[in-house]
């Protein structure tokens, strides 16, 4: 039976989306399927930037150390950078333009500028090695890449076929000096069908895939998140609990990931939210900023809010301004939910579920409902999203039955760049994206994720492909067999570990093997443990490695050595 909160929120959303309401929807046909879209939505991201930066012109928008910019100042700098990309670097409408850097004001300005210049913002994973960066650039066929000093240094010696244009952090006039131009270059007239973004995600094959979106999809995803916020704010106002002052969010997650890009960064244009940027995660610094900047909203992978809640110096800081501790990108352990509520009593924990392929939209579980159903990621996010669970034959399953979770909305990406086979495998002709996650819906429409079909480990919000790590292990001349799998971790949700057996006559230990892997894999992909297995790895009747048996063999030892509290 729906909770009182569900009924109240549904009533608010019904009013907001009714004809003449601020969130009125209308049908839109794409690929032969009809989707609801927001009728009054800007047609593309540059129009969204221009509208909201004018609407909130003098409000503070970005805080990065000692640097502070208003919405209007940010837009003016992005406009100069867009003109510079066209006039100085030859950017044309539809070009894929790479962006490689850590979080900063200048990353945000560069992102906006790429889109305003008509480019497709290709968000390169800032934690990748130089080889991985070069592969991503080549895959997306970028001809220009904006890179900060650290990422540019990693690319040295790697052929990627692109012009590397440097930018730095700090004062935008200095950091973006190689990009800024004047207003002589006309900006292109875009439509919702123009390419907007490419975000990289690891698939079951282990190869990076570029999930490509048009402007319509990203704008609609952004406004669907804004609709959720407006729904909650309106309900709070009806209860006499409307928040005072400008909302403010910390940015502790990478902006090159979809959680940082859409619900955190882009949504902030629509809801006039100030963003306080962190270059890297540090729980003590996060608490200092929450107090100093009066942060009202926190989102990160589950380990981040848990680290704050359990930090030995938590009581030194006034965290009472933060009304929400949201999580996404990885499963949040169920026992963390009441613990967060107890140790951070001024704020509610909430949980979202979405993927790069859905531009982060999917479902959300809020406040009292999350406390009541802490194992659920919540119902479909209204008004744009549909959820379904399919069996192996592709038939929809009724509530209570486990199958593959699927999401359908206009916010779904168009597919994977230059990879029709992977696109066909993940996107059904009727518009459903098959997530690879296993789950079920309850009678109230709440989604429960129980596992994954794909061999992908979600380490603190980062996708780690088992097959990719296995390939790196097999590259060692002394490794005869290897199998990679995930085991639970209290901080990161899940970490990669591996079992291996050595070839006769090869003498090496775990430290040698770890050093070998460190030259081939990004640090977050390195196995947390490497177990040397005596004899051959266990096998199934098909001669495939029996990962379930191998995992069971080492799970108890792992849990004893790494307490999960």
Residue 335: how many CB atoms within 10 A of its CB? Answer: 12
What CA–CA distance (Å, rounded) separates 71 from 59?
6
- Calculate mean pLDDT across residues 264-287: 96
Q: How many residues make up the chain in this entry?
A: 565
Residue scoring higher pLDDT (57 or 453): 57
Question: When comparing pLDDT for 35 and 461, which is higher?
Answer: 35
Which domains does the chain possess? 45-54+72-190 (3.40.50.980), 230-452 (3.40.50.12780), 464-561 (3.30.300.30)
310: Cβ contacts below 8 Å, ≥ 6 apart:
339, 343
- pLDDT at position 205 is 41
Q: What is the pLDDT of residue 138?
A: 96
Burial (0-12, 13-18, 19+ Cβ within 10 Å), 146: buried
Least confident window among 340-354, 417-431, 446-460: 446-460
- pLDDT for 475: 85
Where does the pLDDT of residue 415 fall: very low under 50, low under 70, confident under 90, or very high at 90 and above? very high
Name the average pLDDT for the chain. Answer: 92
211 has pLDDT over 90: yes
Does the pLDDT at position 203 exceed 80?
A: no
Closest Cα partner for 120 from 193, 65, 176?
A: 193
Range name among 124-138, 322-336, 531-545 with the lowest pLDDT average: 531-545
CA atoms within 13 A on the CB side of 495: 18
pTM here?
0.87
């Amino acid at each position: 039976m729906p909770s009182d909160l569900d009924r109240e929120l549904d009533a608010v959303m019904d009013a907001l989306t009714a004809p003449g309401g601020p969130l009125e929807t209308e049908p839109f046909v794409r690929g032969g399927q009809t989707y609801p879209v927001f009728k009054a939505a800007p047609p593309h991201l540059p129009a969204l930037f221009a509208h909201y930066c004018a609407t909130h012109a003098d409000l503070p928008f970005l805080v990065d150390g000692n640097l502070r910019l208003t919405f209007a100042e940010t837009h003016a700098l992005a406009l100069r950078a867009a003109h510079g990309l066209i006039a100085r670097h030859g950017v044309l409408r539809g070009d894929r333009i790479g962006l490689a850097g850590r979080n900063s004001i200048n990353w945000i300005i560069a992102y906006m500028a790429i889109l305003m210049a008509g480019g497709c913002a290709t968000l390169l994973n800032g934690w990748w090695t130089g080889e991985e960066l070069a592969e991503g650039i080549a895959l997306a066929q970028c001809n220009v890449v904006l890179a900060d000093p650290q990422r540019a240094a990693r690319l040295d010696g790697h052929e990627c076929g692109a012009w590397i244009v440097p930018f730095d952090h700090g004062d935008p006039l200095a950091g973006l000096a190689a990009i800024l131009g004047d207003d002589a270059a006309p900006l292109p007239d875009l439509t919702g069908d123009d390419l907007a973004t490419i975000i990289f995600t690891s698939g079951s094959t282990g190869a990076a895939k570029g999930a490509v979106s048009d402007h319509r999809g990203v704008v609609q995803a952004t406004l669907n998140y804004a609709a959720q916020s407006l729904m909650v704010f309106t309900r709070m106002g009806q209860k006499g609990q409307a928040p005072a002052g400008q909302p403010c969010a910390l940015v502790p997650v990478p902006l090159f990931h979809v959680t940082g890009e859409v619900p955190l960064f882009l949504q902030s244009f629509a809801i006039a939210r100030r963003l306080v940027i962190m270059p890297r995660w540090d729980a003590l610094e996060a608490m200092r900023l929450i107090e100093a900047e009066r942060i009202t909203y926190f989102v990160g992978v589950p380990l981040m809010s848990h680290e704050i809640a359990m930090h030995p110096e938590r009581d030194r800081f006034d965290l009472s301004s933060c009304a929400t501790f949201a999580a996404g990108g990885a499963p949040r352990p169920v026992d963390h939910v009441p613990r967060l509520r107890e140790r951070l009593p001024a704020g509610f924990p909430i949980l979202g579920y979405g993927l790069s392929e859905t531009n982060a939209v999917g479902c959300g579980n809020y406040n009292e409902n999350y406390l009541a159903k802490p194992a659920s990621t919540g119902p479909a996010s209204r008004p744009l999203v549909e959820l379904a669970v399919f069996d192996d034959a592709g038939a929809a399953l009724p509530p209570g039955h486990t199958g593959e979770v699927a999401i359908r909305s206009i916010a779904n990406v168009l597919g994977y760049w230059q990879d029709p086979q992977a696109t066909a495998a993940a996107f059904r002709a009727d518009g459903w994206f098959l997530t690879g996650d296993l789950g079920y819906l309850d009678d109230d429409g709440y989604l429960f994720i129980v596992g994954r079909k794909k061999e992908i480990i979600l380490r603190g919000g980062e996708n780690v492909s088992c097959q990719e790590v296995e390939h790196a292990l097999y590259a060692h001349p002394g490794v005869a067999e290897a199998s990679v799998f995930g085991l639970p971790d209290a901080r990161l949700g899940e970490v990669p570990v591996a079992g291996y057996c050595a070839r006769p006559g090869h003498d090496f230990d775990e430290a040698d093997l770890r050093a070998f892997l460190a030259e081939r894999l990004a640090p977050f992909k390195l196995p947390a443990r490497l177990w040397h297995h005596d004899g051959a790895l266990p096998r199934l009747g098909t001669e495939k490695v029996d990962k379930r048996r191998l995992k069971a063999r080492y799970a108890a030892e792992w849990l004893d050595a790494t307490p999960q509290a």
